[in-house]
Structure 1
Amino acid sequence: MSIHSLPTAFAEKIAEIIPSDRLGNVLESFTLEKNIAFRINTIKADVQAVKTSLLNKGFDITEVDWYKAALIIPAHQKRALTETNEFHAGEIYIQNLSSQLAPIALAPEAEETVLDLAAAPGGKTTLIAALMNNTGRLSAVEPVRDRFFRLKANLDQQGVTIAKTYMTDGRSVGKKCPEMFDRILLDAPCSSEARFDLNEADSMSHWSPAKVKETSHKQRRLLLSAFYALKKDGILLYCTCAFSPEENEVSVAHLIKDFAEEVEVLPIQLPESFPKEVIQNGLTSWKGKALPAALQHAIRILPNEQFDGFFMCMLKKKA
């Protein structure tokens, strides 16, 4: 399938979001068979030992210099990776680099109190635990029953012992747990536009402008709940795997409007060697309407053969 097979309304929208000199590469990314990224689980395993073992088994490994526990292999080696002892022992976790970046940017520290508000299937939760050296207090929330038990299984397999899991609607957490958390990750349910794959028509079948609008309303309520649950001087990372500003900058703009004196948008601190060519700053206007200028500190990760499309915005609750 060609890029002309993208939903028309989405193709028109993305042309308004992405600068013209970068648009072609972004559109081409929807046709690519992507490399497989994964990370070594430092809770259970030594990075160099696992890397050496996989090299000895014949895997064609590319290292990721901005996160030493992350590795990349060609797509055709994915099945073989899932058949290794390391995979079954929970010493590795298959996870796109964009998804790995979110916990790294959140930068949780050992002994902090941290919340993952939309946690299933648990990839980011387990990385948060690893970055905390499996010490501190980590809460993981997921409302959907089958996804909740998948989350619990992944946490167990990855050796996470600091996490408490809650099968509840994230929109209720802020009132139940006011100002309880030092850091919060909200990887909000979204229209999953970054997962469009022109080789799989079903990946786009759920999408519509109405779906984007419906999802954005839920995201705003989740974001509000997360903000209530955040301690003063706490850090909240809001992210989605959508391109639509309605789900990203516009959702954050609603929070800024309601809590203008209490919320600050922070620049996202990326690893020094992170590839700058995949970064686009957040939008400060959309459809002719101005958005808060501070949203320029948000970022989009533009998709290519290694990265999925991703949006991130870092917020601080001012004391």
Structure 2
Amino acid sequence: MLSPITELPPAFLEKLSLLLDETQLEQVLNSFSVDKPTTFRINTLKGSIQDTTDELRSAQFNLTPVSWLPTAFHIPPDQRRALTETDAFYQGRIYIQNLSSMVAPFLLAAQPGETVLDLAAAPGGKTLQIAAMMNNQGRLSAVEAVKNRFFKLKANLDQQGTSMVKTYLTDGRSVGNKCPEMFDRVLLDAPCSSEARFSLLDSSSWEHWSTRKVSEVARKQKRLLQSALTSLKVGGLMIYCTCSFSPEENEHVVNHLLKKYSSCVSLEPIELPFSNTMAGITHWQNKTYADALTQSRRILPTNIMDGFFICKLRKHASC
């Protein structure tokens, strides 16, 4: 009988074996079989952390706080359904979201009163987190190109009580030209091949994956990242991230931007409050990337977190 791991696409497994060392590879492959805890955030726009956690604990939920993010908690997998049936869930006082997805807004660190762009926003988890961090003060623009995902985004924003978010059904690749140097901070959680969401508990999670799809999304990511940079003010900060392991969607895309706009943008170091990470790579399949790519980070999946790639860019001059 075949090992469950061998159900995954062979080309994907080969890529992982080239990218990771033996220990990391075992960790990542094991994570695909784990029924992970359910992580969620308290929505401080609708209630206090203390009141909401007291309510959930009274309802017998086994809450474990996340040390580095005061609004985040996780519960055992078997309590997920019950959580989705609580008043806190229906009233938008909590939002279920993978812990790795909370890292990007955490690093973006948007402040009340700023002008911020979420360039590929649906279904809205990161947008909501940013709005709460800004305490509904300032301007937050959320862009989504796919119609059904756009309306899901709007529904989530309405449920969670955001009053300062403006939503736009448009292709993110056009935003830079429409809104040049308008935003203090930009988040681009780019559409990707979603490799970090593969699960051996759900074979549909990888059924659309192929090396061709990776190449296709990488081309789109390059144009989205260029648009994001154009929309960013001089001095502004941008976060680029994906839920993919592939260097083609991560270091390769960022390196393309750095090479094209070396005079106006640079990578900044990232400090993360957990250790399951590896530095970005500078060599991949006969390609060499800028040394600065080592300042990006690949979050390796654990029994709680999904995999993720993330980097922080600063714009120094008009491009």
**TM-score, with structure 2 as normaliser:** 0.97
Q: Following TM superposition, by how much is the alpha carbon of 1:268 offset from its aligned partner in structure 2, in angstroms? A: 1.7
Q: Is 1:302 paired with 2:293?
A: no
Paired residues in the alignment total: 315
Q: How many Å separate the matches in 1 of 2:79 and 2:201?
A: 19
Aligned to 1:265: 267
Q: Is 1:54 paired with 2:53?
A: no
Alignment gaps of 5+ in structure 2: none
Q: How many Å separate the matches in 2 of 1:128 and 1:233?
A: 19
Q: Secondary structure at 2:70's aligned position in 1? A: coil
Aligned to 2:201: 199
Q: How many Å separate the matches in 2 of 1:258 and 1:137?
A: 30
Q: Which of the numbers 80, 92, 95 marks the counterpart of 1:93? A: 95
Runs of 4+ more than 3 Å apart: none
Aligned to 2:111: 109
Q: Which of the numbers 218, 221, 235 marks the counterpart of 2:220? A: 218
Letter in 2 for 1:265: L
Aligned to 1:139: 141
Higher mean displacement: 283-292 or 64-73: 283-292
Q: Secondary structure at 1:15's aligned position in 2? A: helix
Q: Is 1:291 paired with 2:293?
A: no
Aligned to 1:275: 274
Aligned to 1:236: 238
Deviations 1:114-144 (A, max 9, x none): 0000000000000000011110010000011
Aligned to 1:31: 33
Aligned to 1:78: 80
- Counterparts of 1:62-73 in structure 2, within 5 Å, are 62-73=64-75
Q: How many Å separate the matches in 2 of 1:5 and 1:62?
A: 33
Q: How many Å separate the matches in 1 of 2:71 and 2:149?
A: 26
Q: Secondary structure at 1:38's aligned position in 2? A: strand
Q: How many Å separate the matches in 1 of 2:37 and 2:187?
A: 26
Alignment RMSD, CA only? 0.8
Q: Following TM superposition, by how much is the alpha carbon of 1:19 offset from its aligned partner in structure 2, in angstroms? A: 2.1
Q: How many Å separate the matches in 1 of 2:24 and 2:172?
A: 36
Deviations 1:159-202 (A, max 9, x none): 10010000000000000000000000000000000111112111
Q: How many Å separate the matches in 1 of 2:211 and 2:25?
A: 20
Q: How many Å separate the matches in 1 of 2:115 and 2:251?
A: 27
Alignment gaps of 5+ in structure 1: none
Letter in 2 for 1:128: I
Q: How many Å separate the matches in 2 of 1:294 and 1:77?
A: 43
Q: How many Å separate the matches in 1 of 2:39 and 2:278?
A: 22
Deviations 1:74-127 (A, max 9, x none): 111011000001111100000011001110111001100000000000000000
Q: Secondary structure at 2:154's aligned position in 1? A: helix
Deviations 1:196-242 (A, max 9, x none): 11121111110000000001000000001001001001111000000
Q: How many Å separate the matches in 2 of 1:202 and 1:137?
A: 38
Letter in 2 for 1:204: W
Letter in 1 for 2:283: S
Q: Secondary structure at 1:166's aligned position in 2? A: strand
Deviations 1:242-281 (A, max 9, x none): 00000000000100010011111011233xxx221x1111
Q: Following TM superposition, by how much is the alpha carbon of 1:52 offset from its aligned partner in structure 2, in angstroms? A: 1.0
Q: How many Å separate the matches in 2 of 1:124 and 1:149?
A: 16
**Percent of counterpart pairs with the same letter?**
55
Q: Which of the numbers 250, 253, 258 marks the counterpart of 2:252? A: 250
Q: How many Å separate the matches in 1 of 2:143 and 2:9?
A: 32
Deviations 1:265-318 (A, max 9, x none): 011233xxx221x11111111113210000101001111111011000110101
Letter in 2 for 1:317: K
Q: Following TM superposition, by how much is the alpha carbon of 1:154 offset from its aligned partner in structure 2, in angstroms? A: 0.5
Q: Which of the numbers 145, 151, 154 marks the counterpart of 2:153? A: 151
Q: Secondary structure at 1:254's aligned position in 2? A: helix
Q: Secondary structure at 2:88's aligned position in 1? A: helix
Q: How many Å separate the matches in 1 of 2:203 and 2:161?
A: 36
Q: How many Å separate the matches in 2 of 1:108 and 1:250?
A: 27
